[in-house]
Structure 1
Amino acid sequence: MTVDLLIRIVLAGVLGGLIGLERQMRAKEAGLRTHILVGIGSAMFMVVSKYGFADMLSSDHVALDPSRIAAQVVSGMGFLGAGTIIIQKQVVKGLTTAAGLWVTAAIGLVIGSGMYEIGLYGTVLALLVLETFRRISHLLIGKQHTLLVNLKPKSVPLVLLVLQRERIRYGHIAVVNRDPESGLCELSVEVTLSRRASTGQLYEKVMEVKGVSSLEMM
């Protein structure tokens, strides 16, 4: 029994590490070590929740809920996931990594409970979504970027006109951080670039707009 529980904890860490490796290769907020620790911790919580109080059950008038501790992992992961979500210059990042941590915790709970097949299946499915679906999304829809443009306020419509002429889809638009001394503001635009779109050509077109000081693509 002890050997089986140790195998569960190690396996949960290994499966969590596979997801973490994919995230670290993408230079995301939570990487290999974080996902391994989440997998190990979740498996240990499940083991304790399921088997840790077996000696108490022999006592009179004692009734335990074997899912009570494991259930707290689900809510507790919300705090850890929130730590990977950042808002930088009106752009929200880290949602996929937070979801990956949440799935890793679920895999740890599943492995800790002894359902090896479900844990392995969940890991393969998570990696499929993170990697394969990312490529499909970039192929069919395009890759999302955020343009940060320092420019004169009157040049904002001109930059948007350039995006329309280049047939580049754009979404959320925000104008922030106006500098009274220089008269410049910062335009943040979420754009979707297809594989055929040239980032170099887009950079040149935007910089040609009168009043544009600098351009950064994230």
Structure 2
Amino acid sequence: MVFDLLLRIALAGALGGLIGMERQLRSKEAGLRTHVLVGIGSAMFMIVSKYGFSDILGASHIELDPSRIAAQVVSGMGFLGAGTIIIQKQMVKGLTTAAGLWVTAAIGLVVGSGMYEIGIYGTLLALVVLETFRRISYRFIGRNLTLIFQLKPKSVPLVLIALQRREVRTGKVILAHRDAETGLCEMMVDVTLSRKVVPEKMYDVLLEINGVQSLEIH
């Protein structure tokens, strides 16, 4: 019995590590170690919730709900996932990583309860969504990026025209107030790049625009 429980904890950590490895390869906020710990912790909570009070359940006046501790993992993951979400000037980043942590917790609970096949299947499905669907999205929809410029206000229309000429689809455009000392303002633009657009070449072209001081691509 003890060996089986130890196996559940190790398997939950390993499955969580597979998802965390994919996130770390993408340089996301939560990587390998975070996902391994979430998987291990979730499995341990499930084991405690399911088996941890067997020594007192024999008493006639005691009744316990075996799902009470495991249910709190779902709520607790909301706080941990919120820590990976970055809100910067009305732009939200990290939702996929937060969802990955949530799924990792679910995998840990499933494996901790002894349903190995479901946990392995859930891990494989999550990896398919994260990797294969990402490639499908890039192929048919394009790659979503955020461009952050430091530039002079008169250069804003020049940048937007340059993006249009390179067949880059633009989304939300946010323009911050001009700095009184430098005369520069910050512009954030959501763009979708087709497969034929090379980000490095686009970066060089945009930096050559008169008045553009710096450019970050996220």
* TM-score range normalised by the length of the shorter chain: over 0.9
1:1-218 → structure 2 map (5 Å cutoff): 1-88=1-88, 90-218=90-218
1:93-124 CA deviation, whole Å, 9 max, x = no partner?
22111111100000000001111111010000
CA deviation after TM superposition for structure 1 residue 177, in Å: 4.9
The alpha-carbon distance between structure 1 residues 47 and 204, as it changes in their structure 2 partners (threshold 3 A), is closer
What is the one-letter code of the residue matched to 2:134? R
What is the one-letter code of the residue matched to 1:136? I
What is the one-letter code of the residue matched to 1:5? L
What is the one-letter code of the residue matched to 1:82? A
CA deviation after TM superposition for structure 1 residue 200, in Å: 4.2
TM-score calculated relative to the size of structure 1: 0.93
**Identity fraction in percent:** 71
1:108-152 CA deviation, whole Å, 9 max, x = no partner?
000011111110100000111111111111111111221111222
What is the one-letter code of the residue matched to 1:59? A
Q: Look up the SS of the partner of 1:114 in the other structure.
A: coil
What is the one-letter code of the residue matched to 1:92? V
Contact 1:49–1:70 (8 Å) recurs in 2: yes
Residue segments in structure 1 that go unaligned for 5+ positions in a row: none
Q: Look up the SS of the partner of 1:54 in the other structure.
A: coil
CA deviation after TM superposition for structure 1 residue 158, in Å: 2.6
Q: Look up the SS of the partner of 2:148 in the other structure.
A: strand
Partner Cα separation in structure 1 for residue 154 and residue 63 of structure 2: 70
Contact 1:90–1:188 (8 Å) recurs in 2: no
Residue segments in structure 2 that go unaligned for 5+ positions in a row: none
**Number of residue pairs the alignment of both structures matches:** 218
TM-score calculated relative to the size of structure 2: 0.93
Higher deviation after alignment, 149-158 or 77-86: 149-158
Partner Cα separation in structure 1 for residue 190 and residue 197 of structure 2: 15
Higher deviation after alignment, 111-120 or 195-204: 195-204
Q: Look up the SS of the partner of 2:43 in the other structure.
A: helix
